[in-house]
Each structure stands twice: as C-alpha cells, then as structure tokens.
Amino acid sequence: MNPTDDTRTASAIPPAPALRIPVDRLHAIVRAIWEQAGSAPREAELVADHLLAANLSGHDSHGVGMIPRYVESLRGGQLKLNLHAQVVRDAGAVLTLDGVKGFGQVVAYEAMERGIERAQKLGVCAVALRGAHHIGRIGHWAEQCARAGLVSFHFVNVAGDPLVAPFGGADRRIGTNPFCAAFPRAGRPPLVLDFATSTVAFGKARVAYNMGKQVPAGALIDHQGHATREPKVMLEAPFGSLTPFGGHKGFGLAAMCEIFAGALSGGYTTHADTVDHSRAIINCMLSVIIDPAAFDAPNAEAEADAFVEWVKASPLADGVERILAPGEPERATRAEREAHGVPVDPATWQQICAAAAAVGVPAQQVEAWSFD
C-alpha cells in the first residue's frame, strides 16, 4: 500500500459520474483500487466480482460503496491483504476454516470451493469459517454452491458489532446476522433467500438518514427502547437500535445465526468481551452444502416448481403487481443493471475516489475515471 495525503488528493477527485457506470468499467476501477492497495490480481478480481455482483443484484449496501470502509479497515491494520482460508480441522464432512482476517471475498470463496468439492464427494459438507473480514452479500456464496448444482444454507454472525436489540430488549446486542438458503435448478437460476435478520439493514437506515427520510414503522427503537422512525438514532449518540424482523421469531433466528456461526466455528459471539469499535467487520459463517442427487428425490425440482407455480397463482393483494419467488427481485435488478449500468450516487462516488487516493491511486488515474 502506498498511502497518500487524503486532503491533497481530494481536490483531484473528478466530478460526480454519470448516474450509471457500465459494469466492465466499474469492475476495472475496483480491481485497480485493490491492486494499488497491494492485492494480488486474483484477490482484486474476486473482490471486484463480489462487489459488482452485489450492486447488480440491487444490494448497493454491500456493493462498491463498501470500498471506503474496507480501506479504513486496511489502514487501521484490521483487514489483511493476500491471505487465504486456513484449514484448522478436517473431519471429512465437517471442515473448520479460519479466515485470518483476510478479504472475505477471498476466504469465503475458498471456503465454498472446499465445501463444494467435499459435498460432491460425500453428499454433504458443513463448513465453518471463522474470523473472516466482511464476507458481503451472503447470496453470492449460495450462488457459488448452486452453480455446482448444490443446495446450501448459511448462518452468519457479525462478530462483536451489535446493532440490533433482542426481542423485548432496549439496546443493541446482536449483529444484523444474515441467513441465506438456495435451491439450484438445472439450466435455470436458483431460488435464493438471503436477508439480514434485522427489520431493515443498517445501510438502509444510513441511506434514509442521508436523504432526510424516515424508516418504516417498527424498524428502530431509540436509546430508551421507544419505537421511532428517525434513522438518526443509528448514526448519532445517544444510539438506538435496529429491531429484529418478525418479533421473537426473527430474534430467535438471529440468535441461532450468532451461535452456529460464531460459536460452532470456534470463532466468537458478540458479548461484553468481544464488542469491537474498530472499522473492521468480522464475519463467521456456518454453511451446510448438500448434493440434492444424494437424496432419493428424482422429482425434487418438479415439486419445487409446482409449489412456486401454486403460490404465484394466489389472488393478488391490493397494490401488488405479482408474486415473486425468493431471488426473483435480484434477478430482475441484475438484468436491468447489466443492460443500463450500475447506479452510483455522487456521495458514494466521491467516497470511493477518496478511498482510491488514500491507497495511492495517482490523481491523474482517478481523474480519468470521470464520467462526464
């Protein structure tokens, strides 16, 4: 890494880009930033693949807008470049890996590669990955498994980074702990369910705050535990909390994500000894990967299709245009953005350029990224 003076280089930041950036061009920019920061070409490529795929699926909270946060974590000495998932224990159908605070986009990819290979051989593999730097959009890992024809489900904790109150509680104790599950379909995109266990993602509260808007009712409580729609409680002291989705059920799922991912992996859960105020985001993930061909279920896909068709035939509720299966909204957004480019708002673009400058991307190169 070759850090430069942020203040000096900020003046070289080009004006806001066009509203849409072509996918290939944005991918090249992300690769250039991480190669300048010190990543090997393969690492830079995997990071770019992941961040772009998150934007393409419509989850901008986990796309290229994460670059400034990753640069802060790198400069703070938390994110480590060019590291690989380490096998801590190989028990056949159960693998324990350590992400050694390497790029999550690399170590989770490697964890899935190992789990896929083992599930293809044994029918099933449980992979526990601990201590990875942010692994981003979890659907990306389920899609990697689905491309190999495998079913998977993933429990994730955000170790030591509480933002969500327990059901009935009045302060932040749990991460936004995502859960994800995917069902592959031959020659067609998989069904992918992938969500944070908070009512709204933290990034959505931040966007509402920046835009001076309120969040949906029920999504937040203030520092005294009272319901509020003001997103500032997540960004200004005294801090409030996100609520778990679905009351006690969402809280229960978040708790099991915390325990399966944080405890079973040999990593850590969130509690008084582990709360971390650094800019790092540390994820642990338990993935269970299954070869559907190992079951005696030749009609599994046809049965899944029949079910999806059945629910889609439901009469529509007021204001609803159509019923969607898990993963359909992301696919529609992907098709639209592949055709028309990825929207990057001016503030995010400025932050990305400042982060690029901070890792030493020359001012002329950053200027050449201008999209006027």
The residues of the shown chain that bind ligand NAD, judged by CB under 6 A, are 59, 62, 134-139, 156, 158, 176, 178, 180, 192-196, 201, 283, 324, 326-327, 329-330
Nearest CA among 153, 183, 171, 142 for reference residue 256: 153
CB 311, min distance to ligand NAD, A? 10
User: Among residues 196 and 344, whose Cβ is nearest to ligand NAD?
Assistant: 196
For the beta sheet containing 227-228, the strands, ordered from the edge strand earlier in sequence to the opposite edge, are: 227-228, 220-221, 241-242
CB 3, min distance to ligand NAD, A? 26
CB 93, min distance to ligand NAD, A? 25
User: Among residues 13 and 242, whose Cβ is nearest to ligand NAD?
Assistant: 242
User: Among residues 114 and 140, whose Cβ is nearest to ligand NAD?
Assistant: 140
User: Among residues 194 and 258, whose Cβ is nearest to ligand NAD?
Assistant: 194
CB 169, min distance to ligand NAD, A? 19
CB 141, min distance to ligand NAD, A? 9
User: Among residues 218 and 329, whose Cβ is nearest to ligand NAD?
Assistant: 329
CB 79, min distance to ligand NAD, A? 14
**Rounded to an integer, what distance in angstroms lies between the CA atom of residue 119 and that of residue 198?**
31
Helices (H) and strands (E) in the chain, counts: 12, 12
User: Among residues 36 and 270, whose Cβ is nearest to ligand NAD?
Assistant: 270
User: Among residues 17 and 63, whose Cβ is nearest to ligand NAD?
Assistant: 63
**Rounded to an integer, what distance in angstroms lies between the CA atom of residue 263 and that of residue 321?**
42
Residue 286 host element (H or E): strand 282-290
CB 242, min distance to ligand NAD, A? 10
Tokens for 248, please give them: 């006690």
- Residues whose CB falls within 8 Å of the CB of residue 132, separated by 6 or more in sequence, listed in order: 85, 99, 101, 102, 104, 107, 108, 111, 282, 283, 284, 285
CB 302, min distance to ligand NAD, A? 21
CB 355, min distance to ligand NAD, A? 19
User: Among residues 3 and 329, whose Cβ is nearest to ligand NAD?
Assistant: 329
Buried b (16+ CB within 10 A) or exposed e, 246-281: eeeebbebbbbbbebbbbbbebbbbeeeeebeebbb
User: Among residues 59 and 130, whose Cβ is nearest to ligand NAD?
Assistant: 59
- Residues whose CB falls within 8 Å of the CB of residue 38, separated by 6 or more in sequence, listed in order: 1, 81, 82, 359
- The number of residues making up the chain comes to 372
Buried b (16+ CB within 10 A) or exposed e, 13-34: bbebbeeebebeebbebbbbbb
**Residue ranges with strand state E in 75-123:** 86-90, 94-98
Count the alpha carbons within 13 Å of 44 in the hemisphere toward its beta carbon: 16
Place of tokens 């400034």: 68
